[in-house]
Amino acid sequence: MKKSLSILFIILLVAALSACGNKNKHKDHQIKETQETSSKLRAGSIVVNLINTKGDKAGEATLTQTAEGVKIGVNAAGIKPGPHGIHFHEKAICTPPDFKSAGSHFNVTNKQHGFLNPKGPHVGDIENVTANKSGVIHGEVLSAMVTLEEGKPNSLYTNGGTALVVHDQEDDYKTDPSGNSGDRVLCGVIKK
Ligand SMILES: [Cu+2]
């Protein structure tokens, strides 16, 4: 238990530090915001449009392949303040209002959900992102478990692509299958 708590603390610390360091970068993304409906290449990164439960554009996620894994910059508005679960889901389909179309979590290794679950995590698990008092997320998280390289089993382009989904509640990192993170509130399609 003590070990689990230290791991959680490290995860939260890393998330907090990333969030602080990237404020300015995301302002830049906001200015460049466009109305494309699917993922698009921009300066070496993949830009994924995030839509809300009404089907309106609510922001963007910028995915960048780095040596450490895929960097996920999230810039979105209009959701409940506080921490939110965020995951890669297995289907590249975002149909509002419930986004069930995105299927389960991206889980090519057949594990259970959660970084703190002894039988986890899913390849698609990501650290929580946090919305501020105004319901705006400016954050950056890293996933070392997926890749943007095509042809690998853990590629986000596997089987026609995947989706990035933000949930209404915080992911507890241990409850299968989705960390008790509640409804799906934002969704973005990741495909070629
Ligand atoms: Cu999810």
Separation of CA 21 and ligand 1 centre (Å)? 25
Which tops the pLDDT comparison, 30 or 80?
80
Q: Which residue has the tokens 């780095």?
A: 66
What is the rounded distance in angstroms from the CA atom of residue 28 to the CA atom of residue 12?
25
Instruction: Give how far Cα 126 sits from Cα of 43, 64, 90, 101, 134, Å.
Output: 24, 15, 14, 20, 23
Separation of CA 158 and ligand 1 centre (Å)? 17
Q: Kindly tell me if the per-residue pLDDT of 5 is higher than 60.
A: no
Percent of the chain with pLDDT over 70: 77
User: Which element (helix H / strand E) includes 8?
Assistant: helix 2-21
The average confidence (pLDDT) of the chain is 86
What average pLDDT does the segment 69-93 reach? 98
Separation of CA 114 and ligand 1 centre (Å)? 11
Q: Kindly tell me if the per-residue pLDDT of 118 is higher than 90.
A: yes
89 close to 97: Cβ distance less than 8 angstroms: no
- List the CATH code of the domain at 2-190: 2.60.40.200
Q: Which residue has the tokens 């991206």?
A: 106
Model confidence over 16-65: pLDDT tens digits?
444 444 444 444 444 334 444 455 555 568 999 999 999 999 999 999 99
Q: What is 86-151 written as a DSSP string?
A: EEEESSS---TTT-GGG-SB--TT---S-TT-TT---TTB---EEE-TTS-EEEEEEESS-BSSTT
Which tops the pLDDT comparison, 28 or 107?
107
Residue 81: its pLDDT value, please?
98
Separation of CA 128 and ligand 1 centre (Å)? 11
What average pLDDT does the segment 136-149 reach? 96
* Residue 10 φ/ψ, nearest 5 degrees: -65, -45
CB atoms within 10 A of CB 50: 26
Which tops the pLDDT comparison, 147 or 34?
147
Angle between helices 23-31 and 2-21 (to 10 degrees): 50
Of 10-14, 52-56, 90-94, minimum mean pLDDT range: 10-14
Separation of CA 53 and ligand 1 centre (Å)? 15
Separation of CA 2 and ligand 1 centre (Å)? 26
Separation of CA 187 and ligand 1 centre (Å)? 10
What average pLDDT does the segment 140-164 reach? 96
Q: Indicate the pLDDT class of residue 11, thresholds 50, 70 and 90.
A: very low
Residue 173: its pLDDT value, please?
98
What is the rounded distance in angstroms from the CA atom of residue 27 to the CA atom of residue 186?
20
Q: Which two tokens stand for residue 17?
A: 């530090």
Q: Kindly tell me if the per-residue pLDDT of 183 is higher than 50.
A: yes
Separation of CA 113 and ligand 1 centre (Å)? 10
Separation of CA 42 and ligand 1 centre (Å)? 25
Question: Where in the chain are the domains?
Answer: 2-190
What is the rounded distance in angstroms from the CA atom of residue 189 to the CA atom of residue 26?
20
User: Which element (helix H / strand E) includes 46?
Assistant: strand 45-52
Which tops the pLDDT comparison, 16 or 177?
177
Residue 4: its pLDDT value, please?
54
